[in-house]
Chain A
Amino acid sequence: MDMNTAFHRILILGYGKVTGEVLQYVCGRREEYGYRIEFIEHEIHPFSVTEQICATHKIPYRRITDKRELAAYLGQIEEKTLLISASNNFLFPASLVEKPHITIINFHNALLPAYPGRNAPTWVIYMGEKRTGITWHYVTAGVDEGSIIIQKECEITPDMKAYELTERLMDLAAEAFRESFAQIMAESVKAREQGFDPGRRMYRSFEVPSDGTFAMTDSPEEIYRLLRSVDYGKNNIFPPVKTTVDGQAAEILRYRKIPIDKRKDGEELLYLPLDGGNLLKIKYHFI
């Protein structure tokens, strides 16, 4: 073992692309450092490959979906452990966070102290932000309040959808993790306090931009921004967007920005003018 660290174990909790990349990176460095690795799957996703990664690299894998069971399992840790929370919605109890032999770091998909809480990619798009980014931070008892290890920024392009931004943020998170790993392991990070306003807005999981509805009197740009902000494909993070068409309630099935010459009229289709000779094509159905 060449690299210096006091951590005997690294435990990874999360799902998705960034979790897979963190898992593979940590696995690749284990011989240098000599730590043991363990992965816990708490939230199950249809395209998760972390179990496969664990099998390939012989990393102990556990599936603990019950919150209380997970808290109890983590509470039993006695050795010095780095717990990496990457794309993870489990909130660590204060009793765990305060244990001196456990260090927890978390990836948040926004530039803290801005946009703490859930679904940050949605809110930055909806609020019309031009830039956002990611934050790796130490975890404290408060949600997204811990001191900052590293941040990276990216642009929010005009047509970006929530799932595209999420993917970009995951790439940034993996990159930032690799850059700061050695310092985290050496416990030599010069972490920066967030300096947030205690009354800052916390975004909750049940909140939906514009209550998930738009009116035909809204501007096409506002409607497009709303649709993009809640678009996670078929992941059903949010219910379908609703509106009223000719006095009848309707649900949006899909939307697309198209050039004006690609317009093809049909049933249950709306076309709204966007900038640059484009149209917002919206397919809906009455409910």
Chain B
Amino acid sequence: MQERILEILSEYCEEALTYNGDSMMEDGIIDSFTVINVVSDLEDEFDIEIDAKYVIAENFRNKEAIIALVQKLLEE
């Protein structure tokens, strides 16, 4: 699962895979359009619904946060 999430992320932003910080949006690694694309692909890949309330900077601050979000939604 993690591998597939990272593949999706790298399609839109390779830099996100090597980023070690805590604020990808503020550091200009991703923007809101990247997030839309990533969310769309994640939903399709894992057949989950990522509600708008989860699409916030906190959940996309780095790749670990994105993985954690998907894991949480898969467990629900």
A residues with a Cβ closer than 8 A to B are 16-17, 45-47, 49, 52, 163-164, 166-167, 232-236, 253-254, 256, 283
Contact = CB atoms under 8 A, between A and B. Distances in A.
A236 B52 contact: yes
Interface of B: 25-26, 28, 31-33, 35-37, 39-40, 43-44, 47, 49-52, 55-57
Contact of B32 (A17, A52, A253, A254): A17
Nearest to B33: A167
B43 to A, nearest CB: 6
A109 B50 CA distance: 28
A196 B74 CA distance: 53
Given A52-B26, A163-B33, A163-B36, 19 more contacts: A46-B32, A46-B55, A46-B56, A46-B57, A47-B25, A47-B31, A47-B32, A49-B25, A49-B26, A49-B28, A166-B33, A167-B33, A233-B40, A234-B36, A234-B51, A234-B52, A234-B55, A235-B36, A254-B40
Contacts of B36: 163, 232-235
Contacts, number: 46
Contact of A17 (B31, B39, B44, B49): B31
Q: Which of A16, A163, A232, A233 has the most CB of B within 10 A?
A: A233
Contacts of B35: 47, 233
A227 B28 CA distance: 29
Nearest to A20: B31
A47 B37 CA distance: 14
Interface of A is mostly: mixed
Contacts of A283: 47
B64 to A, nearest CB: 19
B50 A234 contact: yes
Contacts of B33: 17, 163-164, 166-167
13 contacts: A46-B32, A46-B55, A46-B57, A47-B25, A47-B32, A49-B28, A164-B33, A166-B33, A232-B36, A235-B36, A235-B52, A254-B44, A256-B44
Contacts of A256: 44
Contacts of A163: 33, 36
Contacts of B56: 46
B76 to A, nearest CB: 15
Contacts of B40: 233, 254
Contacts of B28: 49
A46, A47, A283 interface centre (most CB from chain B within 10 Å):
A47
Contacts of A167: 33
Contacts of A164: 33
Nearest to B26: A52
A253 B49 contact: yes
B19 to A, nearest CB: 16
